[in-house]
Each structure stands twice: as C-alpha cells, then as structure tokens.
Structure 1
Amino acid sequence: MERISLGIMAVHLSHEHGYVTEIAKRSTSYGMNCVRFVPASIDPIDLTITGETFDPQTQSWISDTFSIPPFIYDRCFYNQSKASKRCKPIVEWLKKNPATTFLGYGLPDKWKVYHTIQKNNHLNSYLPDTELISTPMQILNRLRNDSSCLLKPVVGSRGIGIVAIHQTQKEITVTYHNGPDKKTKSFEQVDRFMNWCERLLKQQSYLLQPLLPLVDREAYPFDIRILLQKDADGNWSLVEKGVRKGYQGSFLSNLTTGGEPITYKQWSEQLTPRQRFLLEDELSTITSHLPTLLEDTFGRLFELGIDIGYAKDGSIWVLDVNSKPGRKTFIETKPELKHTLYDSPFAYCKYLSSKNDQKGATIID
C-alpha cells in the first residue's frame, strides 16, 4: 500500500526550515511521507512538482520531483514581494482541486476577519474600534479626538508595518519598527504629515485603531498569545498560552520587533486572584467561540494564534488572529511542548485521511 504524502508548502523552500524538518522527522512513525515545495514550482502541464522529499534514513531533505500531495500544510506568508504574488493564485487554484485536502484553508485579510467577529454577540465587545483607511483625513480626525492612534497593515504579520502616531501641541510623531530597531519621524506641520500619510497609503491598505495602553507596571508592552490546534480526533484543543514582552519605549511585543517570550504562569503571578479569574473567564469565552465562528465563515482551519491585549483597566482585546501562527513563544518557554507541536500536523492529517476513507471522497467541512 502506497504511503500518503503530506506536503508542506511555503513561498520560499527553506522557510521555517527547523520547524518543518522537526515535523518531517515524525513522518515514519505516522506511516507517511513528507515533502516540501513552493506553489510556483508546480509544472502547469503535467502537474508535477520540483521540491524536496524528507529522507528518513539520512534525516535530511533531498531534491525530488513528485505529484501534488493529497494533503497540504499551508505555511505561505504573503507580502508585497514578487514571489508572494506568483504563489497566491496558484494556492487558490490548489484549494479548489478536489484531489487535494488542506489541513486548513487559512484566513483572509484582517479587515474581513474583523467584520466577521464584529457580527458575533459573544465576541464583538473584545474588538478595538477599527476602520479601514481610505484617506489621510481619517487619521487626522482620530488624532484630534484621541491624540494617538495605530495603523496596522490589512495584510501582514509579525508586527511588520505597524505604525504608532502621537500628537502634541507642537508636533505629530510617527513611530515604527525596522526589526528590533525603533524608528521615529516628527512633523511640525500638518500638511507634511498628511503628505507622508498619502505616500504610506499608496503602498498598501491600512486599518486605523486606537493606541491601547497595553503595557505592564514597568511600562513594557506585552500581549498574550494563545495557540489552538485541532487534535488527532479533529477537535479544537488549547495547546498553551504564553506572553510576549517588548522593550521599554516600544509599542510592540512581537518577537521579530525585539520582544521576548515568558510563560503565562510567570506573567499571571502579578495578578490578584480575582483579576486572574476574570481574565481566564474572558479567555475561555474567546477560545470557545472564535474558532467555530471563523471555520463556519471561512472554511476548515487547523490552528489559530490569537493575540490578546490586557489593558491597565483590566479590559481585554482581541488584537489579531493568525491562521499560520509561529511557535517560538512556546518552544523557548515550554520545551516540553515540542513533541505536541511537531506531531500535531501528522496527527490531524491522519484524522482527515481516515475521514476521507469513510466518505470515499475529499471531505468538505
């Protein structure tokens, strides 16, 4: 009997090399093969792929040509690059291929996700007041009301492209990150600031949000990352909660912008028992309703990273929802979770495979 193949797909072949390799090392114990490929490497004529197959004997990747695998773990991250623009339509075509089953179909842009959550009575109170920016005047109006705001790319991850803006009587200051390095620009004249906004908005679409007071007692920015995954029975499971802590003076806690991970337990010890109880209750509401809502709207998902803001007044905010979450927050603070994290794609793939066999066709759920 031929082994089933799981294909791990990314915009660049070596993307997340360590994570993908650790997954592939588990392929033999699940009786499956593991390949990795870039969507643009699919031959449009004979539908073969030039990519790499994991060799269990040498525990390494080898160049290979193979058919489109029946199961695909999509780890494509899109940006403004040419590679992204080549890959995206091919992935959309693959999702419609009846012979292919994606572990998860992923989520659309942040504005569409926001609108979906906004319609849900259990969850809409956790959303910051958000609007899609069509003109710089929206930014100026928000500053006149609040004296600060946040610009967030509609398509993006890892804190890339997020801009914080503050207004004082003397000037408007723009702050953003280039990796861990924080950059600032100041504008004493409003028209120069508006021109800068005009240029920024031509590059990509942005959301406008309040700049929430998401800092701890020592003024370090932080957020709570919740990782949810489907288990071997196809049910949503809370894998772990962790906290990402930025540096003083920054407004971001993403690890790529200089943040560091700490355990949720370590962070939550500063809370009173009542604060902890109320927070856990709110997080339970979010994690019990959000995955089902998103799957009902956008199709099957395998995993979710939910970023939660906890403000000084105890208010709780859903900052972002990512269908292709990273693992660094948990691997660095809870190394014992590695086996769960690396096993889960094959465990869920096995579940989907058995469901396919029962139905005699590709599943649609």
Structure 2
Amino acid sequence: MTETAQRFLGIMTGRRQGHPPIAEPEFCSQLSAAAPLFDLKVLVFHPEGVSKNGDSITGYAWTEGRWQQTVAPAPDVLYNRCFYSCPQERKAAAAALSALSGTIPWSRGLPDKWRVCGILRRSPEAAPLLPETRLYTGPDELSSMLAEREYGVFLKPKAGSHGKRTLHARLLSRKQGGGLGVRGRDGDNEPFLHHFRTLDQGLQWIHRFTGKHSYIMQPYLHLTSSRGQPFDVRVLMQKNGRGAWTLTGMAVRLGGHGSLTSNLHGGGTAVAVLPFLLAEFGSTGAELHDDLAAAAALLPPLLEESCGRLGELGLDFGIDAGGRIYLLEANSKPGRTVFRLTGDRRAAKLAAENPLRYARHLLLHSPAGRRNSSYNTLRYRQENEINGS
C-alpha cells in the first residue's frame, strides 16, 4: 500500500424507517462527504448485508449528494455503530463481525457499566470520580440501600443507553403519603411516575419492571441547575490521525424541569459548557472546566488497558452543588448531536472527521492495513438508487 492509496471504511449500523433505512444518516453522510480528504471511501451497511463468508457486503454509498445501494468487497476497516435493542440484533451483529474477521476493527467496545466501574475503581486517580455503585440483586438489596439514602436510589440497566428503563426510587415521608415514590423512563423513553402506599408494593413493582435485565444501583445525586433542570457534561474524547487521544469538545446536556435524566433522546437539549459553569458556580466554573478536561484525559488509557484498543469515548460527568465531579457513564459509541445544538462548529467538524483520521492511521500503521489492499480493486455496482436524506 502507498500512502495515497484510497481505502475502504465500512460503517455497520442499525435500521430506521425511511430512505435510506440506516441509523444516524446525517452522521454517516458527513463521514462519507469528508472521506475523500483522507483517501477513503465509505459504505454504510446493516449486519444482514454481510455475506456468510464475509467476501462481500450490501450497503449504501453517499454519491453525488444522495444514497445509492451498493455491493462491495469486505472493508479494510470496520466502524461498528450498532446499538442492540434485542438479542436478535446482537446475534446478527456478532455473525457479521465473525464473517469480517479479516477486517481491522476501528475500535473495541466497552463492557457493561458494572464492569467499567470495577475497572476504574482499581485506579487511585479514577476511583474518587465514581459514585457508590452496587449490583441490584433483588428487593432486599434495594430496601437496604433505600434505608441508607435520604434522597433515594437511582437504578439503571447495566447495558442500557439513552436513559431508557432508568428509575429513581425514594422513601416518602408521612407528609408525602408514606410508602415509596418511583419515577423513571420506560423502554420507549417515556416518563412515568408512581406512588405505592407501602414499601413492599413498590419493591415488588420495581422487581417486575427490571425483569430479566441486570441493573446497578447508585445513590440519587442532586445534579440539577439553579433552575431545577437535570444536567450533565458530555465530553467527547477521540483518537486523531496520530493515534493519540484528544479532547474533541464538551457540552452541557440539559433535561426538562422535573425530568429524571438529561439525555437528548429523552427530550433534553445542549448548551455551551463554560458560560453554563460560570453562571452556576461563579469564578470556580473555570476551574471545574479544567478539572473536567483533566478527568476526561485520565480515563481513556485506563479503560483501553483493560478493554482493548478504543477509538473514541463519550464521557458523561455530573457536578453536584458543592462542585464535586462524578463520572456517570462511559460510552464507546457516542453521539455528537450536542455540538450542533451548542453551535460549536469546530467540535462538530472534528467529531465527524476524527474517525476518518484514525481509520487512516490504522491503515498506515497496522500490519493488516499494510497487507490488505482490497479497496484498490473495489468496483461499486449501483442498484436501486435511493434518494439522499
């Protein structure tokens, strides 16, 4: 391979209604449009589009401002953007990844939230960032934690995302009617609120709600703005064209009044970080900004050491009224809509282009990348033109 050879980045993603039927069409079109700057071509495909032997894939190429269905050989680098809502989707993705075993993975994934906590808890520098975290094993364990926590307990699925199926349970005083108050979001990310007259009724309802899903429990943290809106800070860390971790950008995600989470999928929005921190914390806001950047730089190498090579991480931090920073979640398949909402054009551009820079780095420096040259012989076959989104 020469350094000017054009190569093939495959983006494996989920389905959506519409044309083309691919998830994140805006992000995929941004990647595709910028790819020639890095001597790359992009094909977006579903796991089912991979042939059983992995020799070919059927997907969608962004050509002249529109999506066209395309058949191509196996990609040189595979960027997995699949989110799994059921076991069948996970199984299909696993089969596709197995068939494409000769393709360079753009990034490995992270384990579930419980295991991520276990990894970071071993680090003296990272451990103070973690809220107390326990595994939910049943009503007795939850009852014990509720008795210790005046403001209640926050429960979330070990492998969940977007704030779905999260719960805040709190013991209610006599003035509030007693029993247990439960608010949260269901599997469709719709909010709900329940009041159970007795603790046992509430515990049993929660146990049925969790079902076969594995959950973790944390103390409910007051992570709300002075206007009563839940907020967190999303920090996007990405590898650049030299394979080094860089901070792409930060944004505050704000939920609605009374909302349990600040996730954009739950109806939240985003604002610029520094003005928000200065308004909320005064002169210490600038220090908090620097502390967030330092915490974000600390975490990727620690996770990579245990989980394997990573390409990007979305790190969500909470800040309480006293200015203490907590790591709420680490996501190896982060979104980047926050930068469009805040108007941070620089961060938005980097967020879309850094995956291409890092893919090019992998091709130029990995043994497999130098050995394979499938894209030099790639010939697209256009089928069933599809209008661009």
TM-score by length of structure 2 reads 0.86
Alpha-carbon distance, 1:358 to partner = 9.6
Write the distance in 1 (CA, Å) between the matches of 2:54 and 2:23. Answer: 26
Write the distance in 2 (CA, Å) between the matches of 1:261 and 1:67. Answer: 40
Q: Residue type of the partner of 2:70? A: D
Aligned to 1:236: 245
Alpha-carbon distance, 1:359 to partner = 8.3
Deviates more, 1:23-32 or 1:44-53: 44-53
Aligned to 1:167: 171
Alpha-carbon distance, 1:181 to partner = 4.7
Aligned to 1:255: 264
TM-score by length of structure 1 reads 0.91
Map residues 249-288 of structure 1 onto 2, 5 A cutoff: 249-270=258-279, 271-277=281-287, 279-288=288-297
Q: Percent identity?
A: 28
Write the distance in 2 (CA, Å) between the matches of 1:359 and 1:4. Answer: 9
**For the Cα contact (< 8 Å) 2:316–2:327, is it kept in 1?**
yes
Alpha-carbon distance, 1:323 to partner = 0.8
**Structure 2 CA distance for partners of 1:245 and 1:290, relative to 1, 3 Å:** same
Alpha-carbon distance, 1:153 to partner = 0.7
Given the alignment, which residue of 362, 365, 373 partners 1:352? 362
Aligned to 1:86: 91
Deviates more, 1:143-152 or 1:179-188: 179-188
**Structure 2 CA distance for partners of 1:94 and 1:216, relative to 1, 3 Å:** farther
Write the distance in 1 (CA, Å) between the matches of 2:313 and 2:228. Answer: 28
* Runs (5+) with no aligned partner, structure 1: none
Secondary structure of the residue aligned to 1:128 is coil
**For the Cα contact (< 8 Å) 2:76–2:369, is it kept in 1?**
no
Secondary structure of the residue aligned to 1:5 is strand
Q: Residue type of the partner of 1:44? A: K
Q: How far does the alpha carbon of each residue in 1:118-168 deviate from its partner, in whole angstroms, 9 at most, with x for none?
A: 111110011011011111211111111114100011111111111111111
- The answer to whether structure 1 residue 128 and structure 2 residue 131 are counterparts is yes
Write the distance in 2 (CA, Å) between the matches of 1:357 and 1:273. Answer: 50
Secondary structure of the residue aligned to 1:313 is coil
**Structure 2 CA distance for partners of 1:199 and 1:20, relative to 1, 3 Å:** same
Aligned to 2:314: 305
**For the Cα contact (< 8 Å) 2:27–2:352, is it kept in 1?**
yes
Secondary structure of the residue aligned to 1:165 is strand
Alpha-carbon distance, 1:72 to partner = 1.0
Secondary structure of the residue aligned to 1:193 is helix
- The answer to whether structure 1 residue 9 and structure 2 residue 12 are counterparts is yes
**Structure 2 CA distance for partners of 1:124 and 1:336, relative to 1, 3 Å:** same
**For the Cα contact (< 8 Å) 1:5–1:33, is it kept in 2?**
yes
Aligned to 1:53: 61
Secondary structure of the residue aligned to 1:331 is helix
Map residues 103-182 of structure 1 onto 2, 5 A cutoff: 103-147=106-150, 148-169=152-173, 170-178=178-186, 181-182=190-191
**For the Cα contact (< 8 Å) 1:79–1:156, is it kept in 2?**
no
**For the Cα contact (< 8 Å) 2:277–2:289, is it kept in 1?**
no
**For the Cα contact (< 8 Å) 1:107–1:113, is it kept in 2?**
yes
**Structure 2 CA distance for partners of 1:24 and 1:359, relative to 1, 3 Å:** closer
Write the distance in 1 (CA, Å) between the matches of 2:368 and 2:97. Answer: 26
Alpha-carbon distance, 1:257 to partner = 1.3
**For the Cα contact (< 8 Å) 1:94–1:100, is it kept in 2?**
no
Secondary structure of the residue aligned to 2:159 is coil
Aligned to 2:383: none
Aligned to 2:353: 343
- The answer to whether structure 1 residue 38 and structure 2 residue 43 are counterparts is no
Write the distance in 2 (CA, Å) between the matches of 1:333 and 1:282. Answer: 21
Write the distance in 2 (CA, Å) between the matches of 1:90 and 1:274. Answer: 50
Aligned to 1:331: 340
Secondary structure of the residue aligned to 2:60 is strand
Q: Residue type of the partner of 1:90? A: A
Q: How far does the alpha carbon of each residue in 1:176-225 deviate from its partner, in whole angstroms, 9 at most, with x for none?
A: 12567531111112332232122123231110111001011121111111
- The answer to whether structure 1 residue 246 and structure 2 residue 250 are counterparts is no
Q: How far does the alpha carbon of each residue in 1:285-331 deviate from its partner, in whole angstroms, 9 at most, with x for none?
A: 31222110111111111111110000012111000001111111111
**Structure 2 CA distance for partners of 1:145 and 1:68, relative to 1, 3 Å:** same
Which structure ranks higher in relative contact order (CA pairs < 8 Å, sequence separation ≥ 6)? 2
**For the Cα contact (< 8 Å) 2:164–2:189, is it kept in 1?**
no
Q: Which 4+ runs in 1 deviate beyond 3 A?
A: 178-181, 357-362
* Runs (5+) with no aligned partner, structure 2: 16-20, 373-389
Size of the alignment, in residue pairs? 356
**Structure 2 CA distance for partners of 1:299 and 1:361, relative to 1, 3 Å:** farther
Secondary structure of the residue aligned to 1:229 is strand
**Structure 2 CA distance for partners of 1:275 and 1:331, relative to 1, 3 Å:** closer
Q: How far does the alpha carbon of each residue in 1:33-79 deviate from its partner, in whole angstroms, 9 at most, with x for none?
A: 11011123222146322222332xx2222112222201011111122
Write the distance in 1 (CA, Å) between the matches of 2:132 and 2:97. Answer: 31
Write the distance in 1 (CA, Å) between the matches of 2:113 and 2:285. Answer: 29
**For the Cα contact (< 8 Å) 1:8–1:75, is it kept in 2?**
yes
Q: How far does the alpha carbon of each residue in 1:50-109 deviate from its partner, in whole angstroms, 9 at most, with x for none?
A: 222332xx2222112222201011111122363x233342255267x2x21122112111
